[in-house]
């Protein structure tokens, strides 16, 4: 099971303060994280909202220099920020973010200039306003009373905490293929093999087929085998497939 809704309080939904709605989702996500629920079990667009706000806070309080340094090795984090900025149509903010990583100038003067550009941009393309408009109109948004919200969060903590074997296998395959796993996108109950699952990473889409004690990972577009995991937990890599994938 994966959560497929954005839960917020009715009070935040009715509030004239735009940030209250945004914070209500953040509060719910934090509750799940504190219960050790993995992010791949949480609704993806709720995570986008969560990480857009995280990005905004980091730029305001720490600036681009610190953000770039600390997030360069966190591809999943950057993926959700970029997808979130696209979703809320913050095109100029996304362009500025990409510029921060693409620029060869890593001097403090350059980053201070970017911080100033970000501050100026908020008057033209406010992340809070765009975020709020997207969130309050989201078809999966579900405002709940305090008691209902508490009940839903407790239900999710219980249901999402159940370990799932196929996800464990997929994560191991991704680790060996040096891919950053995001989430399962579909299962195929009609597949003749024991386990057939589609999933995505920060670089693209893949699928796993398990049969006769072997789990094989394939690239969805090229159908090339990337790696396999057998019942003895040994892993075989396919360098040619990886080379083709990385150059595609």
Place of tokens 């999933």: 199
* Tally of residues, the chain: 248
Q: How far apart, in whole angstroms, are the C-alpha atoms of residue 86 and residue 82? A: 6
Helix (H, G, I), strand (E, B) or coil at 90: coil
How high is the pLDDT of residue 153? 95
Using only C-alpha atoms, what is the Rg of the chain? 20
pLDDT of residue 211: 82
What is the pLDDT at residue 248?
36
SS3 label, residue 180? coil
pLDDT number for residue 194: 60
Which of 130, 119, 79, 123 has the alpha carbon at shortest distance from 96? 119
What's the pLDDT at 244? 37
One digit per residue, the tens of pLDDT, for the chain of length 248 reads 567 899 999 999 999 999 999 999 999 999 999 998 999 999 999 999 999 999 999 999 999 999 999 999 999 999 999 999 999 999 999 999 999 999 999 999 999 999 999 999 999 999 999 999 999 999 999 999 999 999 999 999 988 887 788 888 899 999 999 999 999 988 865 565 567 899 999 999 999 988 888 889 999 999 999 999 874 554 444 444 443 333 33
* pLDDT confidence of residue 189: 54
Please state, in angstroms and rounded to a whole number, the distance separating the CA atoms of residues 245 and 118. 35
Around 15, how many Cα atoms within 13 Å sit in the side-chain half-sphere?
A: 16
- Give bridge partners of residue 216 from the DSSP assignment: 209, 228
The CA distance from 245 to 14, in Å, is 48
* Neighbour count for residue 51 (Cβ, 10 Å): 23
| Measured CA distances, 190 to 169, 171, 184 (Å) | 20, 23, 17
**Residues whose CB falls within 8 Å of the CB of residue 96, separated by 6 or more in sequence, listed in order:** 114, 117, 118, 121
Strands in 120-194 per DSSP E:
141-144, 181-187
pLDDT at res. 21: 98
Report the predicted TM-score, pTM, of the whole model to 2 decimal places.
0.82
Residue 204: helix, strand or coil by DSSP? strand
- Return the H-helix or E-strand segment holding 15: none
Write out the two tokens for 132: 């709020």
What pLDDT does 213 receive?
Answer: 83
- The torsion angles phi and psi of 228, rounded to 5 degrees, stand at -140, 155
């Amino acid at each position: 099971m994966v959560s497929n809704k954005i839960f917020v309080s009715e009070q935040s939904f009715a509030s004239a303060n735009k940030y209250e709605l945004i914070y209500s989702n953040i509060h719910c996500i934090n509750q799940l994280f504190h219960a050790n629920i993995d992010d791949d079990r949480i609704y993806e667009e709720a995570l986008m909202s969560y990480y857009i706000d995280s990005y905004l806070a980091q730029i305001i309080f720490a600036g681009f220099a610190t953000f770039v340094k600390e997030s360069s090795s966190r591809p999943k984090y950057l993926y959700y920020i970029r997808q979130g900025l696209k979703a809320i149509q913050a095109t100029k903010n996304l362009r500025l973010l990409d510029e921060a990583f693409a620029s060869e100038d890593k001097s403090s003067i350059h980053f201070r200039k970017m911080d100033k550009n970000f501050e100026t941009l908020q008057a033209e393309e406010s992340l809070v306003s765009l975020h709020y408009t997207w969130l309050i109109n989201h078809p999966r948004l579900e405002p709940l009373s305090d008691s209902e919200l508490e009940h839903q969060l407790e239900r999710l903590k219980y249901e999402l905490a159940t370990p799932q074997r196929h996800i464990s296998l997929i994560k191991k395959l991704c680790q060996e293929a040096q891919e950053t796993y995001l989430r399962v996108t579909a299962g195929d109950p009609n597949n003749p093999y024991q386990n057939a699952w589609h999933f995505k990473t920060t670089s693209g889409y893949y699928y796993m087929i398990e049969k006769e004690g072997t789990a094989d990972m394939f690239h969805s577009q090229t159908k090339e085998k990337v790696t396999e995991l057998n019942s003895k937990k040994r892993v075989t890599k396919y360098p040619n497939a990886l080379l083709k994938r990385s150059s595609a």
